[in-house]
Structure 1
Amino acid sequence: MSEWSVAEPQKLTFDTEVRELRVRVVNGTVNIVGTDEGPARLEVSEIEGPPLLVTERRGTLTVAYEDLPWKGFLKWLDRKGWNRSAVVTLAVPTGTRVEVGVVGAGAVVSGIRGQATIKGVTGDTTLVGVSGPVQADTVSGNLEAQAVTGTLRFKSVSGDLTVVEGSGPSVRADSVSGSMMVDLDPEGPTEVSLASVSGEIAVRLPHPADAEVEANTASGTISNAFDGLRVHGQWGAHKITGRLGAGTGKLRATTVSGSIALLRRPPRDEESAPWEAETPRDTDTGAGTVPAPADGSTDKKVL
């Protein structure tokens, strides 16, 4: 086993093959890039507070604080221990299995084909071009996934989920108050299951779509851009059901008080600007807002 204590900006290169990466930081930034060129590399460009302990053992590279264990990570609420910061950049083989834990730090993971496990207390995470399975759990941290082609699992108390051009086989998300905005562009059938207590849910499906759909809210509003779906309920609880295309995929969305919007992507040969998920549109009922489609279409049924 090789071990380093990093108390100041430093660069390290690892001659052994890295198959698993574990990173745990408080405040600052973590950048992880998958690459097939050269050995694994680490750069700590900024660091304040206690040193980071870097260890390499039998193909597992760990960059973490000694007093910040992975087990029980989301319950690490020692505020005195938050007085630290580091900016860490790692380049590892694309097939590396990645575990990232952030407390107040931002994390970006790109170009990874191995399994990615994310835990965040308050830090936000961005995934770009990740093709392996993803499991993300946060307290209030947000997750943005761009062009992710593997399975995606997300669980949070109040963190938001944003998926842009998602083409993986499945997306499952659970949140208490976080919003979910999922833009799908799959090559084949996709299973999507989204559940929130009070957060808003917006799903943009390709046109033509191919899915069995069931979406319901107890007291929120519903917006539907597909003529082939049936909307049930005029007052109180609302539900959307039906089949789009052959119905080989599945879409399930459930909220208690949040709104639900089913939007339609333009045909691929007509696509231009990416979906601007942050742009809300007031519904007629005044019970919440839902995102508007980027193509400006208004053929939506709102209840």
Structure 2
Amino acid sequence: MPVSTWAVAEPQKLTFDEPVTTLQVRVVNGTVNVVGSEETAARLEISALEGPPLVVTQQDGTLTVAYEDLHWKSLHKWLEDKGWRRRAVVSVVVPADCAVEVGAVGAEAVVSGIRGRTDVRGVSGDTSVSGLTGKVTAETVSGNLEAQDVTGDLRFQSVSGDLTVVDGAGTSVRAESVSGGMILDLDPSGRPTDIRLTTVSGEIAIRLPHPADATVEANTASGTLSSAFEDLRVSGQWGAKKITGTLGAGTGTLRAMTASGSIALLRRPQAEEEPHDAEPTGKVL
């Protein structure tokens, strides 16, 4: 299929009648909004633009909106060599089954309603994803990730960015950070989960459904531990401390590790319970 190309130097709207199966967006500063739709045509609106033109290309089902000199693999190193001012506000509506790749240097990214794979790579801008059913992978330097109502597998890696999961219905979450914190509110609807969290100095808080079903192991070298589950054992008086035990049948897995941060395991209230029952009631070390 021949390549269709547009050089966009000012605010503009474009509609693409050819099928779009993959979306790639790479911008510096500003905002990227991606929305999944049941429509077959894709729509693009660039509502603000500063600096050089954005190049829009469409070929073989791939729609790309990017600066010509900004590449996916060198995204994290880009600011070391480029210093001029750029900003773009990009909104794209694509078929919900589309695969999405967003590269954002200092830009905020919002992705919603996508059933395909979603990959986000950022430097300092925050990312928000909601209503995604495909696998989600996010890598940031200092940007935060907020995931709401995500049912696909979630992977997060950052230096200092925080991870927040709200109404997490997915069965697999794996996150690594150096100093970023992690807050997870999980409700996998009775399905076994595989949760693995690692941070050096960040704090970890996980709210599990009640009753929960997981084999639990949480460790901290010098932080504090708290658990709202009587079936779990909190041990260690000096130095390293850990929470271990089995909730329910132990079908799922929960692993959380931090060197100096604290770890709290909270309990989601049952329907007949008051919200305050979700607070930790077990031992604290």
The alpha carbon displacement at 1:90 in A equals: 0.3
**TM-score normalised by length of structure 2:** 0.96
2:284 alignment counterpart: 302
The residue correspondences of 1:121-270 to structure 2 (distance < 5 A) are 121-187=123-189, 188-268=191-271, 270=273
Letter in 2 for 1:236: G
Shift of 1:83: 1.0
Secondary structure of the corresponding residue to residue 76 of structure 2: helix
The CA deviation at 1:75 is: 2.0
CA contact (8 A) 2:116 2:133 kept: yes
Q: Does 1:63 align with 2:47?
A: no
Q: 1:82 to 1:253 in 2, by over 3 A?
A: farther
| More off after superposition, 106-115 vs 33-42 | 33-42
How far has the Cα of 1:82 moved from its partner? 5.1
CA offsets 1:107-134 (integer angstroms, 9 cap, x no match): 0000000001110001110000010001
* Aligned counterpart, 2:55: 53
**Is the contact between residue 43 and residue 88 of structure 1 (CA under 8 Å) also seen in structure 2?**
yes
Deviation at 1:162, TM superposition (A): 0.4
Match of 1:10 in 2: 12
SS class of match (1:302): coil
Q: Deviations over 1:204-250 (max 9, x none)?
A: 00011100000000000001110000011012111000000011110
Give the Cα separation in 1 of the matches to 2:84 and 2:217: 43
Q: 1:247, 1:132 → 2: CA distance?
A: 26
TM-score, normalised via structure 1 length: 0.90
User: Do the aligned residues in 1 keep the contact of 2:267 with 2:280 (CA within 8 Å)?
Assistant: no
The AA in structure 2 aligned to 1:123 is G
Give the one of 104, 109, 112 matched to 1:110: 112
Tell me, yes or no, if structure 1 residue 19 matches structure 2 residue 21. yes
* SS in structure 2 at match of 1:131: coil
Indicate if the aligned counterparts of 1:27 and 1:82 stay in contact, CA closer than 8 A: no
Q: Is the 8 A contact 1:26 1:82 kept in 2?
A: no
> Any conservation in 1 of the 2:265–2:280 contact (CA below 8 Å)?
no
Extract structure 1 runs of 4+ deviating beyond 6 A: none
Contact 2:221 2:260 in 1 (8 A): yes
Question: What's the C-alpha RMSD, in Å, of the aligned pairs?
Answer: 1.4
CA distance in 1, matches of 2:71, 2:215: 42
- Equivalent residue number for residue 276 of structure 1: none
Which amino acid in the other structure matches residue 254 of structure 2?
L
Contact 1:2 1:56 in 2 (8 A): yes
Alpha carbons 2:217, 2:243 under 8 Å: kept: yes
Q: Which residue identity is paired with 1:159?
A: G
The answer for unaligned runs of 5 or more in structure 1 is: 273-293
For the residue of structure 2 that corresponds to 1:74, the secondary structure is helix
Once the two structures are superposed, residues 167-224 of structure 1 have per-residue CA deviations (whole angstroms, 9 ceiling, x without a partner) of: 1120000000000001100020110000000000111000111000000000000011
Counterpart of 1:301, as a letter, is K
Aligned to 2:86: 84
CA distance in 1, matches of 2:11, 2:228: 52
State the one-letter code of the partner of 2:52.
Answer: P
- Between 259-268 and 192-201, the greater mean CA deviation after superposition: 259-268
Matched residue SS, 1:301: coil
Aligned residues: 282
State the secondary structure of the residue aligned to 1:75: helix
- Name the structure 1 match of 2:99: 97
Contact 1:56 1:62 (8 Å CA) reproduced: yes
Letter in 1 for 2:204: I
C-alpha deviation, 1:298, in angstroms: 4.8
- Displacement of 1:73 in angstroms is 1.5
Distance 1:14 1:165, change over 3 A: same
1:281 is aligned to none
Note the C-alpha offset of 1:302.
Answer: 1.2
Q: Deviations over 1:126-151 (max 9, x none)?
A: 00001000111111111000000000
- The amino acid of 1:205's aligned partner reads L
